[in-house]
Chains A and B, each alone.
Chain A
Amino acid sequence: MTKHPDHISAEKFLAELRRFQKGSVTRRHFLGVTGLGLATAVLSTAMPGLRPRKAYAGLSGTLNVTTWPNYFSQENYDDFTKKTGVPINVNVFGSNEEMLAKLQAGSTGWDVLVPTNYTISTYKGLDLIEPLDLKLFPSYDPAQQDPRFLGPGTIDGVTYAVPKDWGTTGFIVNTKSTTENPVSWKDFFAATQGPLSGKVTVHDYQLTTIGSAAKSLGYSFNTVDPKELAEVEKLLIATKPHLFGITSDYQPAMRNGDAAMAMCWTNDAAQLHRDLPEMSYRLGKDGGEIWVDHYAVIKGAPNRDAAYAFLDFILTPEINAKEIEAHGTPTPDARVIKLLPKDILENPILYPAADQLSVLEYGAAETLTNPARAELMARFKSA
């Protein structure tokens, strides 16, 4: 067999799989598309040997944290248990929609939730999360946060969620398998229908796929205008025969060379680039998504005290820095940024130039609940 530089070895691939099985591949990855999230892996950090002296008085029980796969430092969580005597149950999910579906379906026993920007107002509207009492976690300092990330968590001046970390949705190009040089979503779809036909993937996710297609036509990432959506649909359906796949699990296809270009999130881009330097991550010059994940406390949380103790613990700059180093997603907290190593700060995938970010938009709550976009996505996938 000839050696393909863009082809990962079977061994490495299996190692990836094992990581996936342990719940540690990137976030929305897989559980979302497979719907396995509801039945998933409840990773317990409850280890009997770790119940020690109580630094936080009066805490007891277990803390239920619902988040994304590979999105926390196990060491930090163990330390929290050591300090407080409260073990942490981690529930991992594949998509915001799934988390919301589960919460809507009824009592979950969750305490802390990690929602993405555009879902917060919906959670608030459905009365599923509580207004945060900032006095209970003094380690959080709003003044130290990048102000552009403070908007989504604050509704009518009340803080419902505080930023955890942030990222972008762009696309990744394997520069070894193509000489094409797309730099915008317009380029992305043109290349897909042209020279890269059969070698491109888009997300199995209405927000980013419809949003990015809308950007390529010059519309808002969050458009729900019927006329604009009709044009987006036309573009997507015309593109479909040229797609390699519609999947949020695009790393295998990129790694083994089946795909040369993929709609891509920050985390996946960082991982792909780390292993294969020819992987080039781009943000659309014509716009795209920026997102920020938050910590929120579930209304009526069974262990509310521990939830606030957890927020205070995890947002302490030294601890949060270890958190960022563990999962590699950028933080908006200036105090934490000072503590991060150079290679993270100088990685343009994690911290792109400010002018590139300025054209990006947050996903809007409207798109999350808009049936027109859901139906468009269904027609696109079944076309």
Chain B
Amino acid sequence: MAGLVPAILFTRGKKMRGSRPRMMKLSMTSSLRSKLVTALLLAPAGLFFVFLLLVPLAVVLLFSFGERAPAGGYVPAFTLQNYMDLPARGKAFFNTLTLAPLGTLLTALFAFPMAYFLAVRTSPKWRIALLILVMAPFWTSQLLRYYAWMIILGNKGLPSWLAMVGLTDVRIINTPWAVLIGAVYGYLPLMVPPIYVSLEKLDKRLLEASADLGATPTRTFLQVTLPLALPGVATGSMLVFILLMGDYILPQFLGGGKVFFIGNALVDLFLQSRNWPFGAAVSVALVAIMFVTIYFYMRFVLSKSDTRRAALV
């Protein structure tokens, strides 16, 4: 109510001067007010975006054109040398750009049946409990969990059990395979919920309609369930892919330092050799690659699934 007062006063003032019709003025002031309210509501998010995202990104971009100080750090300059040196981390880019998508794919392959089981095959009274169990590993320290995997995948773990069935000399720990296993394990809790949500939303009558029209269960899954769950798969994959692209702890622990990701290159550049400008250039390249990858990925996903649904998830 209080908010109406200025609007009415404003209208009166105008009216005395005998200008435009009253209704128009009222709507104009209220639209002005709603714009102001919108601006105020968006301000925290906007400030967050600018100061915690754009400003750091701008600083990184600025650093990437600078030079390394003799004792490490940054001195202002304008050089493209850091970008020309990028091939020196080509192997790290290659490792990341092959293992991160592969890890994401594997995680999705493991997460989908779990989410499907939870959303379709589990009675509602067990669903919440099981979903919480999926998330449970997040309650303990990530390092602790990776240490446990170091034992499981270590030579006294899985390989020694494989040896009992005749598969000798299998090496898992400190190989890319260990990193992939760790990725599936570590990121499953991020992948399952979005797929679960999209499967749970799925109208079961659509599956009946498909069967009614002659589609076998397999074809129904491929032609109805999967496309309609795609937005959830896309969301989960995006989350996992982004985190995996920047991960350095996982390759350090389960790759034993022999599987070198961009994240590891960045840790070394910023914390060991303190070559900040080169580190900044590597970061910029990583952000650019991620941006382009995600852009094309989203376009692909949107074209494959119903646009409106995909945009909502």
Contact = CB atoms under 8 A, between A and B. Distances in A.
Direct contact of A and B (CB under 8 A): yes
A378 B258 contact: no
Contacts, number: 126
A374 B272 contact: yes
A378 B89 contact: yes
B174 A245 contact: yes
A24 interface: no
Contacts of B271: 32, 35, 37-38, 95, 97-98, 101
Tell me which of B91, B171, B268 has the highest count of chain A C-beta atoms within 10 A of its own C-beta: B268
A246 B257 contact: yes
Contacts of B89: 378, 382
A255 B238 CA distance: 38
B71 A252 contact: no
A258 B155 contact: yes
B72 A101 contact: yes
A230 to B, nearest CB: 15
Interface stretch (B105-113, B190-198, B248-256): B248-256
Contacts of B68: 371
A6 to B, nearest CB: 9
A244 B209 CA distance: 56
Instruction: Name the prevailing secondary structure of the A interface residues.
Output: helix
B280 to A, nearest CB: 13
Interface in A98-125: 98, 100-101, 104, 122, 125
Nearest to B249: A34
Contacts of A244: 174, 256
Contacts of A377: 268, 272-273
Interface string B60-77: 000000001011110000
Contact residues on B (Cβ < 8 Å of other chain), bracket: 35 or more
Contacts of B104: none
A305 to B, nearest CB: 29
Tell me which of A34, A100, A258 has the highest count of chain B C-beta atoms within 10 A of its own C-beta: A258
A369 interface: yes
A257 interface: yes
B160 to A, nearest CB: 9
A143 interface: no
Given A21-B144, A100-B274, A382 B151 contact: no
Interface stretch (B10-18, B22-30, B259-267): B259-267
B173 interface: yes
A382 B91 contact: yes
A154 interface: no
Contacts of B249: 34
B19 interface: no
B233 interface: no
B125 interface: no
Interface in A15-48: 17, 20-21, 32-35, 37-38
Contact of B154 (A198, A253, A371): A253
B151 A10 contact: yes
B156 A240 contact: no
A256 B156 contact: yes
B236 to A, nearest CB: 26
Interface in A319-377: 368-369, 371, 373-375, 377
A257 B272 contact: no
B141 interface: yes
Nearest to B92: A382
B244 interface: no
Given A256-B151, A258-B173, A383-B91, A245 B273 contact: no
Interface string A106-149: 00000000000000001001100000000000000000000000
A246 B257 CA distance: 5
Contact of A245 (B72, B256, B267, B270): B256
A95 B258 contact: no
A373 B272 CA distance: 11
B150 interface: yes
Interface of B: 68, 70-73, 88-89, 91-92, 95, 141, 143-144, 147, 150-151, 154-156, 171, 173-174, 248-249, 252, 256-258, 260, 264-265, 267-275
11 contacts: A34-B143, A240-B258, A244-B256, A246-B257, A247-B256, A257-B156, A258-B173, A369-B71, A371-B275, A374-B268, A378-B268
Q: Which 3 A-B pairs have the closest CB atoms?
A: A245-B256, A374-B273, A246-B257
Given A252-B147, A257-B156, 11 more contacts: A10-B151, A33-B252, A95-B271, A98-B271, A101-B73, A204-B257, A245-B258, A253-B256, A256-B154, A257-B155, A382-B89
